Structure 1
């Protein structure tokens, strides 16, 4: 065994690289692929055959000397790296395998550097175009908000045309809890502006993920109607509470959080019951019960539970038009300040 180890160690020195790591330094993302050639010398007494080179990432393409490298001659391993859409630091490896006679060995090479991100264009920043106007998305996402007060968020708009664009709002296509302001409402050519969205969650009177349709109108001769979607996830607002106040607060608990209906024949409706309990010290109020599919319905026998009281939540799943594995969620919103949004689920395999 000692002899074998000694032979392997000596033979692994048959291939000697001039360098095993190359630093490209700073490169531009938009500059195209970059490459470096690692050179090695066959220091052994037999030809070296490179049998393969594998890169650690699809962004790196290897190439190598295909013919056998005679003793004393030089071979090469080429590493080509594509920096497009890969800003920041990078370090990639190439695993080289070779044979000398009947003995196999290998080496690992590295390339590294820093990709300077390309300057972003208007098309990059605002990829969605509707007529002459560019936006980031057709969905105006307010993100997570609370129902404490009115929320305002600004979204960039850009006039890509060579003419002035005048904005208006189709009041028949805007809900009462949404207002829109434009800054400016007359947008010069090749100019950035802002669409200010004002959203009143109290007027919306809902919780969880919500959407509304919004229609904007411009004076463009074509594509003057811009239909957008307003999105938000509304959570109940709770003022800061002391530990003593939290100890006296209502608490929502479930007897379980998941139910498996098993195998169900398509077209049948199946039901199960979850038990909710107020384990807190004050009255628990269930604000809403929402499902992620019209095929699932949650019916609660009461919306208010005294301390220690329990209630039944019946969840019915209609399998009509469904097939295969099904997973549906039911979200329960309450005045439990520690967990005002809780989710349970049902699943089934529909045959």
Structure 2
């Protein structure tokens, strides 16, 4: 029936006190609408001018539809003219009640949708991560607080699976106090991903609260392997947050190292691009890594293009479609040395030889705010010119002064080592590496000790 609202069409209301007045208003409005809409009662008249004036004031076709809904037998006859009793009153009441009911229903629906639970949980989902299927049941306690103004009692906690055992606070929880819902999951014989729920019903709320536990059940060996990935970067898990390339030769080709990778998320992660220096390239295998799967990050490092000696560090940014961390910043370490091809005995006899006179020494006790200095002698014991390519300390607190980078056979040069102990106390162990064109020992180390006092 047009304009009449059936109770079955009303939105479900979560608050009985609100539903009662709304229902009364709806029933009252229905009675009034029916009583006034029956003003469509058909009365034949002969005043054609009056009917024409009525049609001019309001389209007769509209009321034909309204009245036909009320009275299926209603017809507009070409042989009769009809008058509509209380026309103005009927039109006003129809739209007034219709608009009022719409507002009431909207308010009731909004009030129902904004219903606030009387208990508030700290979290609704817990991820156990990887668990061993032979390690026994695992448990987690969901904590909640009674935010209402009266005590709340947990009526029931229904688990979605027999593998999940619930427990909860049995006594009523006073306002402002807390309670718990505990979920215990038995992984025995259930390898793979799991996602279970617990439905919590209280005596304060008609709508239950749904809690969720999830995780991955693994064999013992698989769990041990995955546990090595201790450095999370979004969904990616790495063994370390840096990649150490080790020794890289200064030649025009790429040194390749691979580093294990694990996708600990629930969605595939795709490698998009790498941003970094031109002498470093990156590949991810496979390019799209499925969830709970292992892969590799392959780093290619061109030592000749890097054009440096000793320990070097660079940062690269790996771009992915990982929602948790799209860009992953990783430090790449490398130690660069010259590469010498295999040489014959005769060639080695003619090659330069670096000898360090006093490659280890002790500075003894030194003051914290006074530089300590020591001189080391370098000598070329070979048969050809010796070139010192680089001198690299392992600390910014060390500086060096080399007398000469080129040494003829039998020639010596001094290397002064200056140690600044500022902001350091106690025993100190430092080193300086010398890189030369000695084919048999291209990198040689000088070490020293010191004890810093105030």
- Could you say which TM-score interval applies, normalised by the shorter chain? 0.5 to 0.7
Counterpart position of 1:346: 448
Q: Which runs of 5+ in 1 are unaligned?
A: 1-28, 33-116
Counterpart position of 2:356: 254
Q: What's the offset of the Cα at 1:262? A: 2.3
Query: Could you say what the CA RMSD is over the residues aligned between the two structures, in angstroms?
Result: 2.4
Q: Which runs of 5+ in 2 are unaligned?
A: 1-131, 136-218
Larger relative contact order (CA 8 Å, sep ≥ 6): 1
State whether residues 249 and 304 of structure 2, in contact with CA within 8 Å, keep that contact through their aligned partners in structure 1. Answer: no
Give distance in 2, aligned partners of 1:176 and 1:139.
Answer: 18
Q: What's the offset of the Cα at 1:219? A: 2.1
Give distance in 2, aligned partners of 1:329 and 1:252.
Answer: 17
Give distance in 2, aligned partners of 1:348 and 1:272.
Answer: 12
Give distance in 2, aligned partners of 1:333 and 1:151.
Answer: 20
1:333 aligned residue (432, 435, 452):
435
Counterpart position of 2:258: 154
If the length of structure 2 is used for normalisation, what is the TM-score?
0.49
Summarize deviations over 1:29-63 as a string: whole Å, max 9, x none. 9989xxxxxxxxxxxxxxxxxxxxxxxxxxxxxxx
Structure 1: 4+ residue segments shifted above 6 A: 29-32
Give distance in 1, aligned partners of 2:329 and 2:230.
Answer: 16
Q: Does 1:196 align with 2:298?
A: yes
Structure number with greater Rg is 2
Residues 239 and 165 (structure 1), Cα distance of their counterparts in 2 relative to 1, 3 Å cut = same
Counterpart position of 1:91: none
1:319 aligned residue (421, 440, 447):
421
Give distance in 2, aligned partners of 1:284 and 1:169.
Answer: 43
Q: What's the offset of the Cα at 1:342? A: 0.9
SS in 1 for 2:308: coil
Q: What's the offset of the Cα at 1:217? A: 2.5
Give distance in 2, aligned partners of 1:348 and 1:160.
Answer: 46
Give distance in 1, aligned partners of 2:228 and 2:396.
Answer: 36
1:123 aligned residue (211, 226, 229):
226
Counterpart position of 2:166: none
SS in 2 for 1:120: helix
Q: What's the offset of the Cα at 1:125? A: 4.6
SS in 1 for 2:312: strand
Q: Does 1:268 align with 2:370?
A: yes
Q: What's the offset of the Cα at 1:331? A: 0.7
- Which structure has the highest helix share of the two? 2
Q: What's the offset of the Cα at 1:184? A: 3.3
Give distance in 1, aligned partners of 2:433 and 2:248.
Answer: 17
If the length of structure 1 is used for normalisation, what is the TM-score?
0.62
- Which structure has the highest strand share of the two? 1
Map 1:83-122; keep pairs closer than 5 Å. 118-121=220-223
Summarize deviations over 1:234-280 as a string: whole Å, max 9, x none. 33211111111111110011221123222221111121211111110
Give distance in 2, aligned partners of 1:327 and 1:135.
Answer: 31
Q: Does 1:305 align with 2:407?
A: yes
Residues 225 and 273 (structure 1), Cα distance of their counterparts in 2 relative to 1, 3 Å cut = same
State whether residues 274 and 282 of structure 2, in contact with CA within 8 Å, keep that contact through their aligned partners in structure 1. Answer: no
Map 1:167-206; keep pairs closer than 5 Å. 167-169=271-273, 171=275, 174-206=276-308
Map 1:46-57; keep pairs closer than 5 Å. none
Give distance in 1, aligned partners of 2:435 and 2:290.
Answer: 46
Summarize deviations over 1:269-319 as a string: whole Å, max 9, x none. 121211111110011011110111111112212211111111111110111
Q: What's the offset of the Cα at 1:225? A: 2.7
